[in-house]
């Protein structure tokens, strides 16, 4: 990290959106200024979460730890006391409205020209963020996506059935859609903000298939996509939101993309 941070001026800001109807809906955005070859970039990190009270504190701490100097609603307010209210903001949403609208809501508060999307359940470790930023700087990519399915990537903590389900979903999508990326169902990505805005405006899917639609449409539009190997670690706290209904929606979404892209 010392090598990455050398000759860079770093500042951070985070925004968290929530809803308060027996469940909590958070959306965190952290921004970093960086200098590379006399070009100033700002990186906003959007972290959609749902019932992640036990994880939100640690994920914010790790983001600050790996991208700069060290740093559910009550937890975020405590984090504001640590990092400052000017760096972690609360923005309310009326209820749970879906993953796609969470990203759109997050972009309203993200002022960076690059946006990182990652999960809050610690399955996407912030230690990979410097690699994402470095890859984009070196290649000029419009999108850098984390992948579990190339050399150096992997999964830790899943049982055999979960691994087969994920792998099967990717193989099926690869066979039918040919998107040019190895991990269609992953959601740990860095986007050029203008590209993310363009892609989201074309997407109609909701839930977990939204990630697949975004990367497929980006490929069809000819955007430059690069990959970074990551190790996906199963959540320690809380429970997975992936269930039978999400699998059915994935199959419907796959069929829709096959017909429309």
Residues of the chain with pLDDT under 50: 1-30, 34-37, 69-72
Strand partners, 14: 30, 88
pLDDT given for residue 250 in this prediction: 80
- The yes or no reply on domain 2-260 and CATH 3.90.550 is yes
pLDDT given for residue 228 in this prediction: 97
pLDDT given for residue 111 in this prediction: 77
pLDDT given for residue 88 in this prediction: 64
pLDDT given for residue 45 in this prediction: 81
pLDDT given for residue 17 in this prediction: 37
pLDDT given for residue 18 in this prediction: 33
pLDDT given for residue 29 in this prediction: 47
Pairing mode, strands 25-36 and 39-50: antiparallel
54-101 pLDDT per residue, tens: 788 888 778 777 765 433 456 666 667 776 776 666 666 666 677 777
pLDDT given for residue 179 in this prediction: 86
User: How far apart are the C-alpha atoms of 221 and 153, rounded to whole Å?
Assistant: 27
C-beta of residue 150 within 8 angstroms of C-beta of residue 131: no
Domain ranges of the chain: 2-260
pLDDT given for residue 238 in this prediction: 55
pTM recorded for the entire structure: 0.76
pLDDT given for residue 240 in this prediction: 58
Cα dist from 31 to 86, 163, 248, 249, whole Å: 12, 33, 35, 32
């Amino acid at each position: 990290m010392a090598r990455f941070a050398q000759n860079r001026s770093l500042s951070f800001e985070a925004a968290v959106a929530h809803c308060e109807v027996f469940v909590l809906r958070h959306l965190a955005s952290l921004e970093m200024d960086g200098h590379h070859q006399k070009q100033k970039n700002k990186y906003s990190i959007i972290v959609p979460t749902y019932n992640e009270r036990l994880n939100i504190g640690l994920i914010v701490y790790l983001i600050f730890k790996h991208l700069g100097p060290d740093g559910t609603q009550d937890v975020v307010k405590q984090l504001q006391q640590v990092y400052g209210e000017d760096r972690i903001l609360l923005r309310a949403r009326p209820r749970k409205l879906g993953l796609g609208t969470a990203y759109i809501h997050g972009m309203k508060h993200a002022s960076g020209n690059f946006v990182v999307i990652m999960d809050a359940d610690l399955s996407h470790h912030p230690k990979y963020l410097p690699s994402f930023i470095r890859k984009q700087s070196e290649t000029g990519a419009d999108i850098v996506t984390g992948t579990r399915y190339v050399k150096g990537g992997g999964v830790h903590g899943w049982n055999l059935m979960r691994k087969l389900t994920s792998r099967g979903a990717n193989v099926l999508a690869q066979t039918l859609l040919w998107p040019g990326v190895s991990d269609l169902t992953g959601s740990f990505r860095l986007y050029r903000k203008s590209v993310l805005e363009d892609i989201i405006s074309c997407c109609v899917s909701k839930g977990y298939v939204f990630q697949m639609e975004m990367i497929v449409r980006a490929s069809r539009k000819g955007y430059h996509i690069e990959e970074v190997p990551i190790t996906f670690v199963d959540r320690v706290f809380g429970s997975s939101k992936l269930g039978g209904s999400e699998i059915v929606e994935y199959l419907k979404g796959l069929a829709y993309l096959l017909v429309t892209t």
